[in-house]
């Protein structure tokens, strides 16, 4: 049995980035850049106004005040998108709208709130300094500059940047193809009627939903009874087109827990089996080398719903993100103050479902009731997990604890 942190390190060590593909940038949200994003033009493209107002020569209004405004002659207007760039002379001003080009000769823009219009003249009630309210060409970045590094997560702002650059496509790592194999004579899909002793499958549905949240949509789900010959066929079929195979159930030490043995028989190399963590101790992780590309990953998740989903979120997701090109894929933690107290036997790391709230700039973690590994209700209500270290047996009220946010 290994520690949780050892398990995380071994999984990431054996995870490899998948091949690069090219997508329309409009379809790339949720992927990761496979190479740096380079500016194809200056940003902004030209000197432009940051406000609706009046372009001026700052020296013309140095002494302007509410009691003694500076009066300038209005000689034109520049709207956003206007192609013509007029010129102002001493004693004149031009109205500019937000995003409009700065007229030649102007070195500042005065907000319209400080200007009074009187026919063809503008009375300005405040002085201006050079560069006031002007966005200068290339002030954010210049053409050819590296903007975002390899492995950056493509979020809506990144999509907006690519649109601003006039890009049509972007290079990313393709998402992994996933096979989910649900094992057990007692487990049936939700659309089938249950008999005594049977249960509906919730695991594949919760994990498939979580996969979709990180941009993985190619997911094949299959079911296998606790029969060695049948399970062998199901596993063989599942791995055919998959980069990652996740089995659910059948990895403990019971008479019908066949998964680990059958995977080993099929050529899967065991990296580890069993982790000192609660919930989720009977976790299996293995690899199979491929002649055509990155090695395949095999995760044997426990059958209890909370165990399966928790280990998926904390250990499988970082591996999937690394395969998709994320270079910062370790689980991040925050510190919080514990409300209530927690007890356990030392020897295993325990993840406690909780809610994180902020009061007067202090983060508080509040454990929830119903911590059983079969109780999805507490998981559904929680927004974080408290890390209860393996060597500890008591966390007192007011203790500082590490928490992991659940960003489903």
* Phi, psi angles (nearest 5°) of residue 109: -130, 135
What residues contact 281, with CB distance under 8 A and at least 6 apart? 1, 274, 275, 302, 348
Global model pTM greater than 0.95 = no
DSSP state of 397: T
* pLDDT tops 90 at residue 366: yes
Which residue reads 């709207």 in tokens?
Answer: 79
**How much is the pLDDT for 57?**
98
Using CA atoms of 216, 289, 172, 318 in order, give the dihedral in degrees to the nearest 10: 50
* pLDDT tops 90 at residue 145: yes
Give the pLDDT confidence of 191-200 residue by residue, as tens digits: 999 989 899 9
Strands 296-301 and 284-288: antiparallel
The mean pLDDT of 66-81, rounded to a whole number, is 94
**How much is the pLDDT for 253?**
61
The mean pLDDT of 346-374, rounded to a whole number, is 93
> By the 8 A CB rule, do 250 and 300 touch?
yes
Topology classification of domain 22-43+140-173: Molybdopterin biosynthesis moea protein, domain 2 (3.90.105)
Closest CA to 203 of 133, 251, 142: 251
* pLDDT tops 70 at residue 255: no
More confident call, 250 vs 402: 402
E strand or H helix that includes residue 207:
helix 203-213
**How much is the pLDDT for 250?**
77
**How much is the pLDDT for 254?**
62
> By the 8 A CB rule, do 54 and 102 touch?
no
Which of 5-19, 247-261, 299-313, 314-328 comes out lowest in average pLDDT?
247-261
* pLDDT tops 70 at residue 256: no
The CATH number of the domain covering residues in 334-405 = 2.40.340.10
Strands 70-78 and 92-96: parallel
Domain assignments of the chain as residue spans, ordered by start: 4-19+174-323, 22-43+140-173, 48-135, 334-405
* pLDDT tops 60 at residue 70: yes
> By the 8 A CB rule, do 56 and 88 touch?
yes
CB atoms within 10 A of CB 93: 28
- CATH 3.40.980.10 assigned to domain 4-19+174-323? The reply is yes
**How much is the pLDDT for 252?**
65
Class level of CATH domain 48-135: mainly beta
**How much is the pLDDT for 315?**
97
The mean pLDDT of 103-124, rounded to a whole number, is 97
**How much is the pLDDT for 372?**
83
Question: What's the CA gap between 73 and 315, in Å, rounded?
Answer: 68
Strands 362-367 and 334-338: parallel
Question: What's the CA gap between 220 and 244, in Å, rounded?
Answer: 11
**Mean per-residue pLDDT over the chain, rounded:** 94
The token pair at 225 is 């009874």
Helix (H, G, I), strand (E, B) or coil at 93: strand
The mean pLDDT of 384-389, rounded to a whole number, is 98
The mean pLDDT of 183-202, rounded to a whole number, is 91
The token pair at 285 is 């992780």
Continuous H helices in 242-302: 259-265
Strands 296-301 and 219-224: unpaired
The token pair at 179 is 């096979």
* Phi, psi angles (nearest 5°) of residue 83: -85, -30
The token pair at 244 is 């990652």
Question: What's the CA gap between 245 and 264, in Å, rounded?
Answer: 14
DSSP state of 313: I
**How much is the pLDDT for 80?**
85
For the chain, percent of residues with pLDDT exceeding 70: 98
Strands 199-200 and 187-188: parallel
- Whole-angstrom CA distances from 199 to 180, 193, 224, 231, 366 are 18, 9, 14, 19, 31
For the chain, percent of residues with pLDDT exceeding 90: 85
**How much is the pLDDT for 408?**
79
- Whole-angstrom CA distances from 213 to 46, 364, 376 are 38, 27, 19
* pLDDT tops 90 at residue 32: yes
């Amino acid at each position: 049995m290994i520690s949780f942190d050892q398990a995380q390190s071994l999984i990431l060590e054996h995870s490899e980035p998948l091949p690069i593909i090219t997508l329309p940038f409009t379809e790339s949200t949720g992927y990761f850049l496979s190479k740096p994003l380079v500016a194809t033009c200056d940003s902004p493209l030209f000197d432009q106004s940051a406000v609706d107002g009046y372009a001026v020569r700052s020296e013309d209004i140095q002494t302007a005040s509410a009691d003694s405004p500076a009066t300038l002659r209005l000689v034109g207007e520049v709207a956003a998108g206007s192609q013509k760039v007029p010129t102002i002379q001493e004693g004149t001003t031009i109205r500019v709208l937000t995003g409009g080009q700065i007229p030649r000769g102007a070195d500042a823009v005065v907000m319209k709130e400080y200007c009074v219009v009187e026919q063809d003249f503008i009375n300005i009630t405040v002085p201006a300094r050079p560069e006031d309210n002007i966005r200068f060409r290339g002030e954010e970045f210049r053409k050819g500059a590296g903007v975002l590094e390899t492995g950056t997560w493509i979020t809506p702002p990144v999509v907006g940047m690519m649109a601003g650059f006039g890009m049509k496509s972007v290079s990313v790592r393709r998402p992994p193809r996933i096979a989910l194999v649900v094992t057990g004579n007692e487990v049936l899909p939700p659309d089938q009627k249950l008999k005594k002793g049977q249960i509906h499958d919730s695991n594949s549905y919760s994990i498939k939903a979580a996969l979709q949240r990180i941009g993985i949509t190619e997911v094949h789900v299959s079911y296998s009874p606790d029969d060695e010959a049948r399970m062998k066929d199901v596993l063989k079929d599942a791995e055919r087109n998959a980069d990652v195979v996740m089995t659910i159930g059948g990895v403990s030490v019971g008479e019908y827990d066949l998964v680990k043995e059958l995977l080993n028989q099929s050529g899967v190399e065991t990296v580890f089996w069993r982790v000192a963590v609660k919930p989720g101790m009977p976790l299996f992780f293995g690899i199979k080398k491929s002649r055509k590309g990155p090695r395949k990953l095999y995760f044997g998740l426990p059958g209890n719903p909370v165990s399966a989903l928790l280990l998926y979120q904390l250990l499988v997701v970082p591996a999937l993100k690394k395969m998709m090109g994320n270079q910062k894929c370790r689980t991040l933690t925050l510190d919080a103050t514990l409300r209530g107290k927690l007890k356990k036997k030392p020897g295993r790391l325990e993840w406690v479902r909780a809610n994180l709230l902020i009061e007067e700039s202090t983060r508080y973690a509040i454990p929830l009731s119903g911590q059983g590994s079969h109780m999805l209700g507490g998981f559904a209500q929680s927004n974080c997990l408290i890390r209860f270290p393996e060597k500890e047996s008591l966390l007192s009220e007011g203790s500082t604890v590490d928490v992991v946010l659940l960003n489903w």
